[in-house]
């Protein structure tokens, strides 16, 4: 092993940790995304060629690993308690009175205030500056070990920042909140709706559901974020107050919420609460109140805790963002994959400063579960920019005028009979030529989840389709300035800006292009797997369903959907027109391909490494791993008690490797 390689790996890790901290925590990047990706890719290739140098705190662990069989448990060194709530300035005054009586204090009490995020509380344990364990709150005493999942959250440091002096103790245990930003929550629910999956009720459920994925690669595909807010034990950093503690944690590389404020007395606490209440809807994450903590750590220790909550902190909750109104009518909208979604038109009502006219009813099962009817008085709830939803019916206000909500039997856009597929809650139009689906696919293709073309928002795409300029995805790249400039709301400048944006979009990466097509059951994770497996789009188009199924992480539904879409005459025509328009789909730069073209099957028990570790070694070098013996297998790795697969493989002329022979493949 070359000393130069080891030094280069260490230098790449240092650079990537530093640049990741600047990008995700400080919001002050020094590198472009492309430059960062090149460094990251170099590290991936070096680690693949030298697996003995792979470290648990390497930035390459951000992408997730093999699925777990289940979560282990972790006992918290210090219990993770809940917070008591107050709902008014009077309640806050009562909290301060209790603190004064308990401590027998006179004079002003200094506090630290923090936004109360709507996420999932976690605990992170660092040994000698490296993240070794991450867990949920659980019951406060014992939580779930979600270390692999938390390592995929880009803003959580895998190792701590260091300075000119020793910057961290041997063990550091911090606590914070993992959350899903508003836009990420909206896009995740839109994707689940299209796939016929149950929706997350709120960002907190979405964050919790993302972190409880046994397959951490699913977690890695979701845009989770993190803010630190405390330590399990504060002594290791030698701080005197909560504000000083957070400043110290920030120096170690932890993201601290920028809206944290020190308050010299109750009057400033009230003013900060009112400020946060005004700011809350402009934030890109949900908050449901403000946490107030006694600043001095010595006072915190004296105050202690009850069985369920600390005496030195309290959560001042915001008023509920709800209102009552009436369902006037229900319309049924068709999404890009044919899912029909009921949307209630409401008697307009002001909810937290915004007029609400519509609310999603999700699906037929939700309508039945909540027993919703036209003309019902309902309680609705608004969460930021997300479309409001109906919480429940106010049954006491029914007067006999209510009418059942009848789901249509035919598609409201194309009259095709609707179907509910086995195992799904969604009701769909299966006509791929449905005009409503075509419109939604075009919106998706050009939108943020697709090619992200500036100037092609939902309304613009609807307008272009409405005037007949766009019927399918290739049409975007044939638009002309004179056509656009003559449209209502357009001019020469906006037309030229769109053409420039389209020019920038003519060379999409293969994974982004696949995702932009909006194929059912094919999201970001599947698109990445496909781009990593196939050299280019031509290779993907040549693959049959079995070859798709042989890719670990791709199931039957995704493979069948891919094959049907990619081999359809409609897509063939679009692709031909895209190529004629100069659209060139770029292959994703592949990792070192020492095992390219080889397909491995493992059998028996391995002694020197786990089965999952062996699989990851193969995939890191460009090989494939399958779970069953077939003609495609090129190498069978036979461990202890290999069984009948060894004999069958030998009969088929497949190369058989011992564990030692397998490991020799990775020695440089």
Is 92 in the same domain as 21? no
Q: Please give the mean pLDDT across all residues of the chain.
A: 85
- pLDDT for 94 equals 93
Tokens (6 digits) for 219: 């977690």
Let me know if residue 374 belongs to a domain. yes
User: Which CATH number does the domain housing residue 23 bear?
Assistant: 1.10.287.610
Per the structure, the count of domains in the chain is 5
Find where tokens 């903590």 sit.
293
**Percent of the chain residues past pLDDT 70, beyond the cut:** 89
Q: What is the CATH number of the domain that holds 375?
A: 2.40.50.140
Please, which residues have CB within 8 angstroms of residue 653's CB and are 6 or more apart in sequence?
none
Which of 209-218, 336-345, 382-391, 640-649 ranks highest by mean pLDDT?
336-345
Q: What pTM, to 2 d.p., does this model score?
A: 0.53
The conformation of residue 282, written as its DSSP 8-state character, comes to G
Q: What is the pLDDT of residue 85?
A: 84
Instruction: Say if 78 falls within a structural domain.
Output: no
Tokens found for residue 581: 């328009």
- Distances in Å between the alpha carbon of 299 and those of 92, 242, 291? 18, 11, 17
Q: Are 668 and 50 in contact (CB under 8 A)?
A: yes
Percent of the chain with pLDDT over 90: 38
The reply to whether 511 and 552 lie within a common domain is yes
Question: Tell me, what's the pLDDT at 352?
Answer: 67
HSE-CB of 283 using CA atoms within 13 angstroms:
22
Span 159-177, average pLDDT: 78
Q: Are residues 363 and 346 in the same domain?
A: yes
Same domain assignment for residues 484 and 544:
yes
- pLDDT recorded at residue 353: 64
> For 367, what's the count of Cα atoms within 13 Å in the CB-facing half-sphere?
24
User: Domain check: are 191 and 128 in the same one?
Assistant: yes
Closest CA to 464 of 439, 445, 444, 500: 439
Residues 170 and 241 both lie in one domain: yes
What is the CATH number for 474?
A: 1.10.150.20
Contact 389, 366 (CB under 8 A): no
Q: pLDDT by residue (tens digit) across 305-346?
A: 876 789 999 999 887 677 889 999 999 999 888 999 999 999
Cβ count within 10 A of residue 91 = 14
Q: Is residue 417 part of a domain?
A: no
Q: What is the b/e burial string over 284-317, where b = at least 16 CB atoms within 10 angstroms of the residue's CB?
A: ebbbbbbbbbbbbbebbeebeeeeeebbbbbbbb
Q: Residue 626 above 50 pLDDT?
A: yes
Q: Report the distance separating Cα 462 and Cα 137, nearest Å.
A: 46
Q: Are residues 486 and 562 in the same domain?
A: yes
Other C-beta atoms within 10 Å of 348: how many? Answer: 11
Q: Give the tens place of pLDDT for each residue, 225-257.
A: 999 999 987 667 888 999 999 999 998 989 999
Residue 597: is it exposed, middle or buried by C-beta count within 10 angstroms (0-12/13-18/19+)? exposed
Q: Is residue 409 part of a domain?
A: no
Look at 88-92, 104-108, 474-478, 498-502 and tell me which has the smallest mean pLDDT: 104-108
Rounded Cα–Cα distance for residues 91 and 457 (Å): 46
Looking at 543-657, list the stretches that DSSP marks H as alpha helix, in order from N- to C-terminal side: 545-549, 556-566, 569-580, 611-620, 644-651
In a domain, 345, yes or no: yes
**Over residues 260-288, mean pLDDT:** 91
User: Regarding predicted confidence, which is higher, 351 or 29?
Assistant: 351
Mean pLDDT value across residues 196-208:
75
Could you tell me which residues come within 8 angstroms of residue 659 by beta carbon, excluding any fewer than 6 positions away?
606, 607, 608, 637, 639
d(C-alpha 43, C-alpha 60), whole Å? 8
**Cα–Cα distance for residue pair 551/521, rounded to 1 Å:** 15
Query: What is the DSSP secondary-structure string of 184-198?
Result: HHHHHHHHHHHTTPP
Q: Are residues 177 and 282 in the same domain?
A: yes
Q: What is the CATH number of the domain that holds 660?
A: 3.40.50.10190
- The average pLDDT across 371-387 equals 80
* CA angle (582, 583, 584) in 5-degree steps: 105
Are residues 245 and 105 part of one domain?
A: yes
- 383, 404, 425 — which closes off a domain? 404
**43 in any annotated domain:** yes
In a domain, 416, yes or no: no
- Nearest CA to 41 among 14, 66, 16? 16
Q: Which two tokens stand for residue 448?
A: 């943020």
b/e 64-89 (16+ beta carbons within 10 angstroms → b): bbbebeebeebebeeebbebbebeee
Residue 269 shares a structural domain with residue 356: no
Q: How high is the pLDDT of residue 183?
A: 82
Q: Closest by alpha carbon to 339, among 405, 431, 457, 423? A: 431
Question: pLDDT tens digit string along 38-91?
Answer: 676 677 777 767 777 777 667 766 554 554 557 888 888 888 888 888 888 999
99 and 143 belong to one structural domain = yes
pLDDT class for 165, splitting at 50, 70, 90? very low
Structure tokens at 10: 């260490």
pLDDT of residue 175: 95
Q: What is the helix, strand, coil percentage profile of the chain, to 5?
A: 40, 20, 40
Domain stops at, among 580, 610, 632? 580
Asked whether residue 124 is domain-assigned, the answer is: yes
- SS (HEC) of 544-561: CHHHHHCCCCCCHHHHHH
* 521 and 543 both lie in a single domain: yes
Rg of the chain over all Cα atoms, to the nearest angstrom: 28
Average pLDDT score over residue span 415-443: 90
- List, by residue number, the catalytic residues: 116
Domain boundary among 317, 345, 376: 317
- Using alpha carbons, list the distances in angstroms from residue 542 to 187, 508, 524, 535, 546: 31, 20, 21, 11, 12
Secondary structure of residue 179 in the 3-state scheme: strand
> Which residue range(s) make up the domain with 140?
85-317
> Which runs of E-coded beta strand occur in 39-102?
73-75, 85-86
Residues forming a β-bridge with 142: 75
**Least reliable range by pLDDT among 30-34, 73-77, 115-119, 338-342:** 30-34
| Residue 118: predicted pLDDT | 83
List all residues 6 or more positions away from 386 whose beta carbon is below 8 Å from its beta carbon.
Answer: 182, 185, 186, 189
């Amino acid at each position: 092993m070359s000393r130069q390689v080891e030094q280069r790996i260490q230098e790449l890790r240092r650079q990537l940790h530093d640049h990741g901290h600047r990008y995700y925590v400080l919001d002050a990047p020094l590198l472009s995304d492309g430059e960062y990706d090149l460094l990251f890719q170099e590290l991936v290739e070096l680690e693949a060629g030298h697996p003995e140098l792979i470290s648990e705190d390497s930035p390459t662990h951000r992408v997730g690993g093999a699925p777990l069989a289940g979560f282990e448990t972790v006992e918290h060194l210090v219990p993770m308690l809940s917070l008591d709530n107050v709902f008014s300035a009077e309640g806050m005054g009562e909290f301060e009175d209790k603190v004064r009586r308990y401590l027998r204090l006179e004079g002003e009490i200094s506090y630290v205030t923090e936004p109360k995020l709507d996420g999932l509380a976690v605990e992170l344990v660092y040994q000698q500056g490296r993240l070794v364990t991450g867990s949920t709150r659980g019951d406060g005493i014992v939580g779930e070990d979600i270390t692999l999942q938390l390592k995929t959250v880009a803003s959580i440091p895998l190792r701590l920042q260091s300075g000119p002096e020793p910057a961290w103790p041997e063990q550091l245990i911090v606590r914070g909140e993992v959350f899903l930003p508003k836009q990420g929550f909206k896009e995740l629910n839109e994707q689940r709706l299209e796939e016929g999956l149950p929706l997350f009720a709120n960002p907190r459920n979405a964050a919790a559901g993302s972190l409880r994925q046994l397959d951490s690669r699913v977690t890695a595909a979701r845009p989770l974020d993190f803010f630190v807010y405390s330590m399990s034990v504060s002594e290791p950093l030698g701080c005197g107050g909560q504000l000083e503690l957070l400043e110290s944690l920030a120096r170690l590389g932890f993201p601290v919420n920028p809206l944290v404020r020190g308050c010299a007395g109750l009057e400033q606490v009230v003013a900060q609460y009112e400020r946060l209440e005004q700011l809350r809807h402009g934030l890109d994450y949900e908050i449901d109140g403000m946490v107030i903590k006694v600043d001095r750590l010595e006072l915190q220790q004296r105050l202690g805790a009850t069985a369920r909550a600390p005496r030195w902190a309290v959560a001042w909750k915001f008023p509920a963002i709800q209102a009552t109104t009436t369902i006037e009518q229900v319309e049924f909208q068709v999404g890009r994959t044919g899912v029909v979604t009921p949307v209630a038109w409401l008697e307009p009502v002001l909810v937290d400063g915004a007029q609400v006219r519509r609310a999603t009813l999700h699906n037929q099962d939700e309508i039945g579960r909540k027993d919703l009817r036209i003309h019902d008085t309902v309680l609705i709830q608004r969460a930021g920019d997300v479309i409001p939803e109906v919480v429940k019916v106010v049954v006491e206000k029914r007067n006999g005028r209510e009418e059942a909500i009848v789901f249509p039997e035919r598609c409201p856009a194309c009259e095709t009979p609707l179907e509910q597929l086995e195992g799904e809650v969604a009701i769909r139009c299966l006509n791929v030529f449905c005009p409503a689906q075509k419109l939604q696919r075009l919106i998706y293709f050009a939108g943020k989840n697709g090619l992200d073309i500036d100037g092609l928002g939902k309304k613009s795409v609807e307008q272009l389709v409405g005037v007949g300029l766009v019927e399918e995805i290739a049409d975007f790249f044939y638009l002309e300035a004179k056509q656009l400039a003559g449209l209502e709301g357009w001019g020469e400048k906006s037309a030229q800006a769109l053409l420039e944006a389209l020019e920038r979009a003519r060379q999409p990466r293969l994974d982004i292009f696949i995702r932009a097509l909006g194929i059912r059951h094919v999201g970001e994770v599947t698109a990445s797997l496909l781009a990593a497996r196939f050299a280019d789009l031509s290779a993907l188009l040549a693959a049959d369903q079995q070859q798709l199924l042989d890719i670990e992480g791709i199931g039957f539904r995704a493979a069948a959907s891919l094959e049907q879409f990619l081999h359809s005459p409609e897509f063939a025509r679009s692709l031909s027109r895209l190529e004629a328009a100069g659209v060139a789909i770029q292959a994703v730069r592949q990792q070192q391909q020492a095992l390219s073209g080889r397909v491995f099957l493992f059998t028996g028990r391995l002694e020197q490494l786990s089965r999952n570790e062996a699989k990851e070694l193969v995939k890191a070098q460009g090989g494939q791993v399958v779970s069953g013996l077939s003609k495609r297998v090129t190498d069978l790795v036979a461990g202890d008690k290999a069984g009948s697969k060894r004999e069958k493989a030998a009969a088929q002329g497949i190369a058989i490797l011992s564990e030692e022979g397998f490991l020799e493949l990775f020695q440089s």
